[in-house]
Structures are given as C-alpha cells and as structure tokens.
C-alpha cells in the first residue's frame, strides 16, 4: 500500500503516548497493548481514505479505549457491566486522580509507563527489554540485537517479565520521588537503547527512524527536568542531542550511508550541538564522570571539529580509555579501535579487535570495522571475507548497500598478506 510508510511513521511516533494513556485507563499491560493494536488496525483501514488525524495519538487513544471497552462488554455477555467507577473513562474518578498526579512533578504518561516497566520487582535486563517492547513497540528481533542475544532468549525474557509484573501486582501509577530515583539508571538505559534503535535501525528498509530519536530526546529532556542535578542524565541528554544533530548528513540523496569522515558538516544541526556541548561542560564540571558523560564528551569532540581532519583523535582515544574503565564492553573496545587506527595505524587497531571476535560474532559493525582495517592493510581476501560476514548481518538495506560498495572497491584478485 502506497500509504504504508507514512502511516507506519505516524503509528510509531504515537505509540508511547497512546500506550501510556491506555495503561492509565485500564491498569493492565496486555489490555493496553491489545487496545493499541486494535486502534492501529482501524487506522490502517481509516487513514488512507480520510487522511492523517490532526492528533494521531489522541485518535488512537480514543479508538483503542472504546475498542477495549466494547470487547469487555462482549465478553461479559449476560453479566452485569461493572459500574462506571470501575471502568476507566475520560470523565471518571480515576482520570481525576491521574491528573492530580500529573499536576505535580510527574506530568507525562510515557515517563510513567517507563517507570512502571522499570519496576524493581524485575531484573534490570528484563526491565529494559519490557520497556522497549511495551513503550516503543520494538520487535523482539530489534531488542535482541540491542542486547546481543538470540531472538528466542529475548522472547523468553520479555514473557517472564510480563508474567512477573502481573504476579507481583505492580501498581500502574507514578512512583514517588524515592522510587523514581531508584529506577533512574534503568530508565536512562532504556531511553538510550530507544535512541540507538532510531539512530541505526535494526531491520526494515529504513536506516534511520527519526521519530524514535526525537522521542528519546523528548524523554531525556523530561527526565532531566525531573532530575536537574543528575550529571549522568545531563550526559545522556547531551549525547542524544549531539548524535542526532548529525542526522541530516548521515544519508545522501539516494539514502546511502555517508560515513562520519565524509559528512557535510554544514548540514549538522548547530543548535542541537550548542545545547549538547553546554550540557557536557556542565555535567563534567563536577569531575564525577559517568558513562553517558564520557560518551557525550566523545560526541562533542567530533562535533567541535570543523573538518574531519581537525578531529582530536588523541582526546577521543583518552576518553574511550576512561569509558573502558567505567563500562568495560567489547563494543567500547571496537569503537576505541577506530581512534587507535587514526593514531597508530590499522595494524594496531586490528590487534585490538581480534580478541573481540568470539563476543561479537553476530555484530554487524565488528565485521565492517575489521573489513575496513584489512582493506587498508591490503589483505584483500581477508577483507572480502570480513565484508561478506558483515553483509550477512546487515540490518537495513542501507547497511547492505554500504558493504556491497566496500566489496566492489576491492581488487578482483588478491592474496591475503601476513599480518
């Protein structure tokens, strides 16, 4: 259907707010999800003919709420309907209570939903997975990619999380200030994973899902408004702003990937960069760096370079060394190898990433970086093998096309040279 792309974008953008509101009405995750899905089905039938509503989220909330209430009535059949005060409605007492909570510090349905999914009854990895599934509607495949585990394992993790949250009778309401603080780290991690899924999509034909990036930025700002003194939330907000600022230059007119070193920096969003850099400076002033602050500082070094050749790779390498100490990860080591290659050559970088192979066997970027380093070293056959692995793991058409271009640039014949 020719309208599928814009409808999908509208549904994706509206999902967090719609599901959050439906959860507030029905106090049940499954009911809220089912109501939203029913509303989406009706949107697919209605919107192509009548056009996009002025407020898609409000339309989906209204239709989903009515669909769920109709379903409850059908299932009750000859049973008496619950009294109005037991069925959530726009004018009932429950809404008044929710609006009372919203009139204080806690004003956003989506953040409420995030904090509910990140309830301490759940292990941290289940909290984040559930939030990504419920709040953002990411597929099991997309979430599994973020965690570097199989789809089956992630499906089991999400199922266990939903079962556990139901059995624990977790209240579907905004947590108090103390509870919000306890769940803050997990909520921040979920927002960053949401942003990453938008920044580099894990499937489909679209490489960048701008609505997800924008939603993550909105949530980060809301979180910072709730916790204005939290340096790591400053760092998180700065990081997503600085990364998203590059979006206009990341794809060319044909939707082909443009690497950072080749991007037209005049297209970068200067207002976002200025806001992000200011937040980085403010966060680091306390001299208590955390992972988000350091990642934001790395992004700020890139943003501060007028030309790719002006990039201070020595500072970036030092920042990655700090990040490795704070948050050891094979992905951090892989990213640091890019800086090492700029400073010390591809041989040094290749030696750094070789031990990561067993941990990153399903990670597209590992083989992309490895292939590029081998290509620089003239190890054509080895480079082709690495690129072939990357191609098999490509998540989007843009990633696949980029790797195909790298393969086409290799000499047709070549022998692997000694390392």
Three-state secondary structure along the chain? CCCHHHHHHHHHHHHHHHHHHHHHHHCCHHHHHHHHHHHHHHHHHHHHHHCCCCCHHHHHHHHHHHHHHHHHHHHHCCCCCCCHHHCCCCCCHHHHHHHHHHCCCCCCHHHHHHHHHCCCCCCHHHHHHHHHHHCCCCCHHHHHHHHCCCHHHHHHHHHHHHHHHHHCCCCCCCCCHHHHHHHHHHHHHHHHHHHHHHHCCCCCCCCCCHHHHHHHHHHHHHHHHHCCCCHHHHHHHHHHHHHHCCHHHCECCCCCECCHHHCCHHHCCHHHHHHHHHHHHHHHCCCCCCHHHHHHHHHHHHHHCCCHHHCCHHHHHHHHHHHHHHCCCHHHHHHHHHHHHHHHCHHHHHHHHHHHCCCCCCCHHHHHHHHHHHHHCCCHHHHHHHHHHHHHHCCCHHHHHHHHHHHHCCCCCCCCCCC
Going by pLDDT thresholds of 50, 70 and 90, the confidence category of residue 106 is very low
Alpha carbon 49 to its chain centroid, in Å, reads 32
Mean pLDDT calculated for residue range 263-286 = 96
Residue 239 has pLDDT above 80, yes or no: yes
pLDDT tens profile 323-380: 999 999 999 999 999 999 999 999 999 999 999 998 999 999 999 999 999 999 999 9
Mean pLDDT calculated for residue range 193-208 = 75
Mean pLDDT calculated for residue range 227-237 = 94
Residue 206 has pLDDT above 90, yes or no: no
Residue 167 has pLDDT above 90, yes or no: no
Cβ contacts of residue 226 below 8 Å, gap of 6+? Answer: 105, 106, 111, 180
- Percent of the chain topping pLDDT 90: 42
pLDDT tens profile 5-47: 778 878 877 887 788 888 878 877 788 888 998 999 999 988 9
Cβ contacts of residue 224 below 8 Å, gap of 6+? Answer: 230, 233, 234, 236, 237
Cβ contacts of residue 412 below 8 Å, gap of 6+? Answer: none
pTM of the model: 0.74
């Amino acid at each position: 259907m020719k309208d599928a792309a814009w409808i999908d974008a509208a549904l994706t953008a509206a999902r967090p707010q719609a599901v959050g509101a439906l959860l507030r009405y029905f106090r049940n995750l499954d009911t809220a999800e089912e109501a939203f899905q029913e509303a989406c089905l009706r949107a697919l039938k209605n919107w192509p003919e009548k056009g996009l509503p002025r407020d898609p989220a409000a339309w989906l909330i209204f239709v989903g709420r009515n669909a769920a209430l109709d379903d409850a009535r059908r299932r009750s059949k000859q049973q008496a309907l619950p009294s109005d005060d037991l069925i959530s409605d726009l004018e009932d007492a429950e809404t008044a209570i929710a609006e009372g909570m919203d009139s204080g510090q806690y004003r956003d349905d989506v953040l409420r939903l995030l904090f509910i999914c990140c309830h301490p009854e759940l292990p941290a990895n289940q909290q984040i997975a559930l939030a990504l599934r419920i709040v953002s509607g990411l597929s099991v495949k997309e979430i599994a990619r973020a965690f570097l585990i199989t789809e089956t394992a992630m499906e089991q993790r999400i199922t266990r999380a939903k079962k556990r949250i139901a059995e624990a009778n977790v209240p579907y309401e905004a947590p108090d200030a103390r509870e919000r603080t306890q769940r803050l780290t997990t909520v921040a991690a979920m927002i960053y994973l949401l942003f990453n899924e938008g920044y580099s999509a894990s499937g489909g034909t679209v490489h960048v899902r701008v609505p997800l990036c924008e939603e993550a930025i909105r949530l980060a700002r809301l979180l910072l408004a709730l916790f204005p003194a939290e340096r790591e939330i400053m760092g998180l907000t700065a990081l997503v702003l600085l990364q998203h600022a590059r979006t206009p230059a990341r794809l060319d007119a044909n939707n082909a990937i443009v690497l950072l070193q080749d991007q037209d920096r005049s297209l970068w969003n200067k207002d976002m960069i200025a806001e992000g850099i200011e937040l980085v400076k403010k966060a680091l002033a306390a001299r208590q760096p955390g992972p988000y602050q350091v990642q934001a500082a790395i992004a700020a070094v890139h943003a501060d370079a007028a030309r790719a050749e002006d990039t201070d790779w020595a500072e970036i390498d030092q920042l990655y060394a700090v990040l490795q100490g704070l948050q050891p990860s094979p992905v951090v080591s892989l990213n640091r190898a890019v800086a090492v290659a700029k400073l010390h050559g591809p041989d040094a970088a290749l030696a750094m990433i070789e031990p990561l192979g067993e941990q990153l066997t399903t990670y597209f970027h590992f083989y992309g970086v490895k292939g590029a380093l081998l290509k620089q070293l003239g190890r054509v056959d080895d480079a082709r093998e690495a690129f072939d692995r990357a191609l098999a793991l490509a998540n989007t058409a843009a990633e696949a096309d980029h790797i195909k271009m790298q393969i086409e640039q290799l000499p047709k014949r070549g022998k692997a040279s000694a390392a």
